[in-house]
Structure 1
Amino acid sequence: MNQARLIGVTIALGVAVFLGTRCVYIVREAQQALLLQFGEIRKVDQKPGLFLKFPEPFQNVVYIENRLIPLQTPELEITDSLQRRFVVDAVARWRVTDTKRFYQAVGGNIPAAGARIEPILSASIRRIIGQRPFNEVLAERRAEIMKEIEDQAIPQIRALGIELVDVRIRRADQPDEISSRTYERMRSDRQREATDLRARGQEEARRIKSEAENQAVVLRADAQRQSEIRRGEGESLRNKTFADAFSKDPDFFVFYRSMRAYETSLQGKDTSYVLSPRSDFFRFFENPGLSEKPAN
């Protein structure tokens, strides 16, 4: 009898534990919960905690993320106001603020919500950016453009029970084929500039070289002229000095000139002269006192 009672108590406890786990649900910090009764929303729990419910199939719970959820748009090819094509992609952050409406719109499914948000956001990006030139998207009015995209997309996204927190343009660039053509054009322009600069440099080098050669010719001519002038002045001074010396002492002058002639002509070690001993050239060797030519 006691054993049967123990078995009964055990079974009762097991059923109680089973029913207890089926009658409570936990909402965590990063979650919201919808309590459904036969598919109809009975309660929304947006705060964390432990809550009671009837066991399934009477009531069941759907959990929904309460955190910021990122969304990246695909690459969008857009034509700007100047009819230039470029590629843009953006990153957005959103979260569920109206849990009931979110469940009714997309069944509480996060990927399905992203699929609904993406075309709304892409259409806003195309519309807003397409009205402006490309350089404004790059820097000048980027913050203002992102704000306009948010303002245009928010009403449609809010209808899904979603708050669009912010939108950021991640990349704005020209398509690859346009970038390649632009790069080739820029490279050609730089090569043309380099060729032009090189040609101008060579022309300038030739001009400077020509001017330097002309200056060198002028300087050499001037130096030659100055040299001739100085040489003439020196010879004139030398002749004047000789003339003065001759007029003061003709005998000494003749002697001096003869000694200079001997010194100059007899410098070589192997110098030979075939002259008559009575030659006028050697008159000072016979008689240093002579200053006149010997009589024939």
Structure 2
Amino acid sequence: MTKQGFIIALAVAISGLFFLGASPLFTVDITQNAIVVQLGKPVRNITEPGLYVKVPFIQEVTYFDKRLLDYDSDAQDVITQDKKTLLLDNYAKWRIVDPLKVYQNFQTQRGALQRLNDIIYSELRVELGRHDLLEIVADHRADLMKIVTQRSHEKASAYGIEIQDVRIKRADLPEQNEKAVFARMQAERERQAKQYRAEGAEEAQKIRSEAEKDREIILAQAYKESEELRGAGDAKAFKVYADAYRQDVHFFEFTRSMEAYKKTCKDKSTLVMSPDSEFFRYLKQR
């Protein structure tokens, strides 16, 4: 066979391979790693992008994504330390760092993802089972997720997988437990409301009692001061009367009698007295 004939035959053979879908050429994208498998055994681990050659019908290529991947699981039940069932929906960020190990253990990326789900759920169940519900949903969630991430990464690294972060996307109570929880919450709020009302009534009674005591003290003090002032006024009046009496006895008696007439003989007053009474002495004088 001439050289030209050989080239033609080679071209025809290659064209036939392409036609049969058994191209000896394959490409590796910049976002991919590739494992060349020959008769079920990996023979090449390709980590750089480019155009490569394989043996048709004998060698196959399995691709693995080298980018940071998302893992989003379905919601699953987790039982806390205080025996509460929590419906947990979590996600993770992970990467294939050793495609050869991944192929040897799982053959495909889908198989690796299934194993990743088992590892993360197992660590979540173990770690969250050591804490109460309130700690998980409120107090220490970030710290718990760091522990779960670290332990999950330690297990997954044996399979050529790196787990960078595990997070809780949503944590709910199962539907059958929601009513019981809401009932307990309502009872607790009612208990607190009754306690606050009782404390308020007690405080109001204290305030009223204190105000009543202050009122009595103020009235007593005012009465004391008024009596002292009245007594002082009466004493001064008596002194004035005494001085006036000493100066002119008859005028004093006359003045006092006029005041008595004025107070006694008001409009529509009726007096039943003897005409010779001493009370009318100044009225009878001429």
Query: TM-score band (shorter)?
Result: 0.5 to 0.7
In structure 2, the partner of 1:4 is none
- CA shift, 1:205, in A, is 1.8
Letter of the structure 1 residue corresponding to residue 71 of structure 2: L
What's the RMSD between the two structures over aligned residues?
4.3
In structure 1, the partner of 2:72 is 72
Note if 1:200 corresponds to 2:199.
yes
Secondary structure at 2:123 match in 1: helix
Which whole-Å deviations, capped at 9, do the CAs of 1:202-223 have from their partners, x for residues lacking one? 1332233234324423432443
Q: 1:191 to 1:53 in 2, by over 3 A?
A: same
Which whole-Å deviations, capped at 9, do the CAs of 1:119-145 have from their partners, x for residues lacking one? 233233323443x22366551852234
TM-score normalised over the length of structure 2: 0.67
Q: Distance in 1 between matches of 2:182 and 2:128?
A: 24
Identity across the alignment (%):
27
Letter of the structure 2 residue corresponding to residue 68 of structure 1: L
Structure 2 unaligned blocks of 5 or more = 1-7, 268-279
In structure 1, the partner of 2:93 is 93
In structure 2, the partner of 1:26 is 27
Q: 1:246 to 1:229 in 2, by over 3 A?
A: same
Secondary structure at 1:29 match in 2: coil
Q: Distance in 2 between matches of 1:259 and 1:188?
A: 82
Secondary structure at 1:115 match in 2: helix
Letter of the structure 2 residue corresponding to residue 227 of structure 1: S
Aligned counterpart for 1:151 among listed residues 151, 154, 171: 154
Q: Distance in 2 between matches of 1:39 and 1:145?
A: 35
Which whole-Å deviations, capped at 9, do the CAs of 1:171-215 have from their partners, x for residues lacking one? 574624545534432442232222123223213322332343244
Letter of the structure 2 residue corresponding to residue 75 of structure 1: A
Q: Distance in 2 between matches of 1:107 and 1:264?
A: 126
- The answer to whether the Cα contact below 8 Å between 2:96 and 2:161 also exists between their aligned partners in 1 is yes
- Taking the TM superposition and a 5 Å limit, the aligned residue runs for 1:189-268 are 189-253=188-252
- CA shift, 1:226, in A, is 3.5
- The answer to whether the Cα contact below 8 Å between 1:73 and 1:118 also exists between their aligned partners in 2 is yes
Aligned counterpart for 2:131 among listed residues 126, 130, 133: 133
In structure 2, the partner of 1:163 is 161
Larger radius of gyration: 1
Q: Distance in 1 between matches of 2:99 and 2:84?
A: 42
Task: Report how many aligned residue pairs link the two structures.
Answer: 259
Q: 1:263 to 1:73 in 2, by over 3 A?
A: same
Letter of the structure 1 residue corresponding to residue 226 of structure 2: S
Q: 1:175 to 1:267 in 2, by over 3 A?
A: same
Q: 1:61 to 1:149 in 2, by over 3 A?
A: closer
Q: Distance in 1 between matches of 2:116 and 2:61?
A: 25
Q: 1:121 to 1:207 in 2, by over 3 A?
A: closer
